[in-house]
Structure 1
Amino acid sequence: MGSVGLLYVGAVLFINGLMLLGKIPGKSAAVMNFFVGAMQVVFPTIILSQANGDPAVILGASGLYLFGFTYLYVGLNQVFGLPGEGLGWFSLFVAFVAVVFGVLQFIQVEDPLFGVIWFIWAILWTLFFLLLALGKDSLNDFTGWFTIIVAHITGTIPALLLLTGNYTTGPGEAVGLAVIGVLAILASYALSRRKMPDGTNSSVAPATSAGH
C-alpha cells in the first residue's frame, strides 16, 4: 500500500473509531469515508492501468480496493441510514483476504512488519463482521477503541515512517508490532469497560452506526 494512501487509512479509521464511540455523528464521518474511499478506488485503478501485467504491481494495487469499497460502503450506510449486515459480511471477506495478504508479505514480498499490519487489520475487520453482521452489540465500545488505536499503529505511524524514509522491516520489527497489537487489544478492552459516575458505559454508540 502506498505511503500516502496508508496515511489516510489512519485518518479515516480514527474518524470511524470516534463514530463508533458516539463522538462523531455518522453523517459527519461519512464525508471522510467518501474522500478516502474514492481515493482508494481511483488510485489503484490508475496503477493497474499502468501495470503492464506486472504481478507485483497488480498484487499491491488489488489490496487497496478492499479499503476503498469498505469506506464507500460505510459512507453510503451513514448517509442513507442503511442496515449494516451487508457491510458486516463484506468485512468477513476483507478479513479473510487480509490474512492471505499478510502471509504473502512474509513469503513473497519479504516485508514481515507489513505482514503483521495485515494480520491486525484482519482482526479489526473480523470485529466489524461480528458487530455488524452478527449483531454483537457488546463489542461496540471495544471495537471503537481498537479502531482508534489500530488507526495509528498500522496507518499513521507506518505511513509517516515511509514518507520520511525511516521505515525498516524485519523479524524484530514484526515481533515488536505483534506485541503492540496484543497490548492494543488489552487497552481497548480496559477502555471499553470504563464506567461513568452514573454506572453506565463510557460510550453509547449503537452498533448500527459502526463504520471502518
Structure 2
Amino acid sequence: MNNVGLLYVGAVLFLNGVTLLGKVPVRSAAVFNLLVGALQCAVPTVMLIQAGGDAATTLAASGIYLFGFTYLYVGVTNLAGLEPQGIGWFSLFVAAAAVVYAALSFTVAGDPAFGVIWMAWAVLWFLFFLVFGLGRDELTTFTGWSVTLLSLPTCAVPAFLALTGHYRTSGPIAAVWAVGLTALLTAAAVLSGSTTWARAGSTTPAYN
C-alpha cells in the first residue's frame, strides 16, 4: 500500500519542481499537494490500524506521515497566501528525520538501496529549508531542477519496481543508485547555472 502512495509522491514532487522553476502557478499546484497530502496521511493510518503492533510496519508508517504533513502544509499555505518560513523550518526537521530513516534502512531494515533514496530526500528537504526557511532565493532554481530531476528516480521508479515485484536491494545496487542520483544533482547544478527560468508570481511556491 505504501508503494501506491510513493508513486503519487513522485508526481507531486515533479509538479512542485516545475512550479519552483516558474512553469506552474502555485495555486494550481497547491490543489494536487492537498490531494497527495491526504493520501499520504490516509495510507499510513490504514497501515497502523492493520499493523497489529508490528514494529517494522509502524516504522514505515511513521516516515510516510512526514511527507503527508508536508504536502498538506504546502497546499494550505499556497492557497491561503501564507508566508513560507514555517514550511522551510519544518523541512529541516524532515531532512534530519530522513537521515535517521536512511541509517535505519542501512542497518535495521537491511535495505541499502532505499537508504540511498532516503539520503536523497534529506538533501532535497534541506534545500527547501535553505530556500524557504532562510530565504536563500539564489538556490531556488537549483532546488527546482533538483526536485524535478530526482522526483521520478526516488519515488515513481522504486514504486513501480516494488509494485511489479522487481525491486531489489544490495550493497552494489545501492552504489548504482547513489551514483545515478549524484549525477542528477550535478546535472541540476549545471542546468541552474546555464538556464534562466521565470518564477510564477508568488513568494510561497509549492515545492515538495
TM-score bucket of the superposed structures, by smaller chain:
over 0.9
User: Where does 1:80-95 land on structure 2 (aligned, <5 Å)?
Assistant: 80-95=80-95
- How far did residue 74 of structure 1 move? 0.6
2:204 to 201, 204, 208: 208
Q: 1:43 corresponds to which residue?
A: 43
Counterpart Cα distance in 1 of 2:159 and 2:50 = 23
Residue 149 of structure 2 corresponds to residue 130 of structure 1 = no
**1:87–1:132 CA contact under 8 A, matched in 2:** yes
Q: Secondary structure at the match of 1:193?
A: helix
How many matched pairs?
207
List per-residue Cα deviations over 1:68-99 (Å, max 9, x = no partner): 00000110111001101000000000000000
In the alignment, is the contact (CA less than 8 A) between 1:131 and 1:139 conserved in 2? yes
Residue 208 of structure 1: CA displacement? Answer: 3.0
Structure 2 counterparts to residues 1-212 of structure 1, below 5 A: 2-195=2-195, 201-205=196-200, 208-212=204-208
In structure 1, how many angstroms separate the alpha carbons of the residues matched to 2:6 and 2:19?
20
Quote how far apart the aligned CAs of 1:209 are.
1.6
RMSD: 1.3
Aligned partners of 2:142, 2:121: CA distance in 1, in Å?
Answer: 15
Report how far residue 184 of structure 1 moved. Answer: 1.3
User: Aligned-pair distance for 1:207?
Assistant: 5.5
Identity %: 52
Q: CA deviation at 1:130?
A: 0.2
Report how far residue 50 of structure 1 moved.
2.1
Asked if the contact 1:20–1:207 (Cα under 8 Å) also holds between the matched residues in 2, the reply is: no
Q: Is the 8 A contact 2:78 2:204 kept in 1?
A: no
In 2, the alpha carbon distance for the partners of 1:172 and 1:207 equals 42
Distance across 1 between alignment mates of 2:167 and 2:2: 13
Paired with 2:95 and 2:147, the residues of 1 have a C-alpha distance of 14
Residue 121 of structure 1, CA deviation: 0.1
With normalisation by structure 2, the TM-score equals 0.96
Q: Deviations over 1:100-133 (max 9, x none)?
A: 0000001001010000000000000000000000
Structure 1: stretches of 5+ with no match in the other structure: 196-200
SS of 1:135 mapped into structure 2: coil
Tell whether the 8 Å contact from 2:91 to 2:129 is kept in structure 1 after alignment.
yes
Code of the residue aligned with 1:209 in structure 2: it is: P
In structure 1, what is the Cα distance between the partners aligned to 2:100 and 2:80? 33
CA contact (8 A) 1:37 1:72 kept: yes
Kept in 2: contact 1:116–1:174 (CA 8 A): yes
